[in-house]
Structures are given as C-alpha cells and as structure tokens.
Amino acid sequence: MSEQQKAMGFADGAGSYSYKIKQLQAMLDVETGKHPQTGVKIEESGYGANLSHWFGAGIAPINLDADALRCLIRHYKRREKIKLDNALF
C-alpha cells in the first residue's frame, strides 16, 4: 500500500469507515457554507453532494443535501463503533 493510500484512509481497506466519515464531513462543511480545510465561510454552497453508482447503466446520479450527509456520517460512525467494539472481544 502506498503512502498516498494510507494518507487517504485506505489503511483499513478502500471503503474504511474513517475515510468515508472524513470525506462526508468535508462535503457537509461545503454544503453548509464552510471551507473544509480552513473553516472560512464560503459563498458557493447548498448545491448538494453528487452521488453516483459505479455501474452507471441507467442509474442517474442524485444530489444529497446537508441532512442526508449528516445521516450518512451518523451511520458510518455507528458502524465504525460496532467494528471497534467487536474487535475488542
């Protein structure tokens, strides 16, 4: 595994929960008008995060609003906690 992959959160696999949470939080920050790295207010926000499926054929992308992003963050945090709790036993 490359250093770049580790830095991007792939150390636990390409779909690691911590990576997904980090990316979703950055999307939520932009969606709610905050620059993800600096926290500075940005004017261009509220357009939604684009979700698409890799298969593509006949599956149109959708936009996720801030509430949908919050739900996904909550979901993956819960899944991450369950994974950690199970690893302890």
pLDDT of res. 1: 55
- Count of domains forming the chain: 1
At 11, which helix (H) or strand (E)?
A: none
pLDDT tens track for 52-79: 998 878 999 999 999 999 999 999 999 8
The pairs formed by 49-52 with CB atoms below 8 angstroms and a separation of 24 or more are none
Q: What is the pLDDT of residues 13-32, one digit of tens each?
A: 556 888 899 999 999 999 99
Give the span between the Cα atoms of 76 and 70, in whole angstroms.
10
**pLDDT-derived band of residue 44, with 50, 70 and 90 as boundaries?**
confident
Q: Which domain holds residue 77?
A: 3-87
- Cβ within 8 Å of residue 33, ≥6 positions away: 41, 42, 43, 45, 46
Q: 12, 18 in Cβ contact below 8 A?
A: yes
